[in-house]
Amino acid sequence: MLAVFQQTLAVTTPVFAMLFLGVVLRRLAWIDTAFINSASALVFRGTLPTLLFLGIVKADLSTALQPALLGYFALATLVCFLIAWGWAMLRCPRADRGVYTQGAFRGNNGIVGLALATSLYGDYGLSLGAVLGGLVILCYNSLSAVILALYSPDGRAGPKAIALSILRNPLIIGVLAAIPIAYWRVPLPDWLLVSAGYFAQMSLPLALICIGGTLTLASLRESSGVALSSSLMKLVWLPLLATLGAWLWGFRGADLGILFLYFASPTAAASFVMARAVNGNHQLAAVIIVITTLAAVLSINLGLLLLQWAGWI
């Protein structure tokens, strides 16, 4: 278990380092609000969709393809989304409900979940995690687009506006564009893949620097209550329900362990980018990311310990 703790720390520490770098750069006045706005827009419209596109194009969709596991994950994700949304309607100001819900159900599976699955289960964890990642991307971005559009400060929340927000979402466009290329193994020029890779690699550092540059003591104080509630939902209650459901569904061993890691991952940095893109409470999104990334080091290891003690994995 010490090895797992060290691996979790190794995955989350670089994330905190980039967040802290954003705080320092803002204090030194090397970046400002204009930079954060431009960089966030670049990540949302360009680098992150490219990263998602490449991730699916390079994945072997036929490897570790398990319809039952994929189906359960999609269903459990929808249920977790609805639970988080229902709780937000009861406990959150209307303006914060979209950001709260997104922070509570959307995990950082591309960085934390996949890395830990590979560390614990080797090639099987990598192949199953990569295939699961394609479904993750589609589910998370579609549901996030819906909930953020519903509570958008711009007031566009009709069915047509929500449908357009999904269809026009650059992250979803990147995923949908990649699926036929990956499925039919359409060859792409090496120079294009390399260039796109350079561009895509800016996504996580830029997003995390922008999050760090947004954080202030005032935003931490103002958002602390709502952010803590969303963080507890993300790291404790929803992973508990989803993992118990997976066990009742019949999953055991590596499959159950990987599902747990994906449900228990901290909130994704992309939630900040999407919240900012719709003029939502991006400061609340930033605080949720910070809290869940820090606390995940403890919650993930405790969850794995309990699952191993019960003999489920």
Residue 245 pLDDT > 80? yes
Residue 18: band (very low, low, confident or very high) from pLDDT cuts 50, 70, 90 = confident
Q: Are 264 and 235 in contact (CB under 8 A)?
A: yes
User: Residues 120-148: what's their mean pLDDT?
Assistant: 83
Tell me the CATH number at 285: 1.20.1530.20
CA distance 194 to 35: 26
d(CA 122, CA 100) in angstroms, rounded, equals 34
Q: Are 273 and 87 in contact (CB under 8 A)?
A: no
Phi, psi dihedrals of residue 107, rounded to the nearest 5°: -95, 160
Average pLDDT, the chain: 87
Highest mean pLDDT, choosing among 90-94, 109-113, 169-173 = 90-94
What is the C-alpha to C-alpha distance for residues 112 and 115, in angstroms, rounded to an integer? Answer: 5
Separation between Cα atoms, residue 160 and residue 179, nearest integer Å: 25
pLDDT at 267: 93
Domain, as residue range, for 194: 2-310
**pLDDT at 270 > cutoff 80:** yes
Q: Is the dihedral of CA 50, 159, 267, 180 positive or negative?
A: negative
State whether residue 169 is helix, strand or coil. coil
Rounded to whole angstroms, the Cα distance separating 146 from 11 reads 30
Residues 11-15, mean pLDDT to the nearest whole number: 80
What is the C-alpha to C-alpha distance for residues 205 and 284, in angstroms, rounded to an integer? 19
- Which tokens sit at 267? 């909130």
Tokens of 189: 């020029």
**CB burial string 269-306: b at 16+ within 10 A, e below:** bbbbbbbbbbebbbbbbbbbbbbbbebbbebbbebbee
Q: Which helix (H) or strand (E) holds 303?
A: helix 282-310
Residue 310 CB neighbours (<10 A): 9
What's residue 29's pLDDT? 92
Q: Which of 81-95, 137-151, 209-223 has the lowest mean pLDDT?
A: 209-223
Task: Answer with the residue of higher pLDDT: 228 or 59.
Answer: 228
The stretch 132-155 carries a mean pLDDT of 84
How far is 46 from 130, CA to CA, in rounded Å?
Answer: 22
The predicted structure's pLDDT at residue 62:
64
* pLDDT recorded at residue 63: 59
As given in the structure block, the two tokens for residue 210 are 């922008």
Mean pLDDT (whole number) for 49-76 = 82
| Distant-in-sequence, close-in-space partners of 19: CB < 8 Å, separation ≥ 6 | 208, 209, 211, 212, 215, 289, 290, 293
Question: Structural domain tally of the chain?
Answer: 1
Q: What is the pLDDT of residue 156?
A: 60
- Kindly report, residue by residue over 276-313, the tens digit of the pLDDT: 888 889 889 999 998 998 888 889 989 988 998 888 98
CA dist., res. 237 & res. 121, Å (int): 25
Residues in the chain: 313
Task: Kindly state the average pLDDT of the residues 168-186.
Answer: 85
Quote the DSSP letter at residue 92: S
Residues 156-161: contacts with CB within 8 Å, 24+ apart?
A: none
Task: Report residue 161 as tokens.
Answer: 């506006």
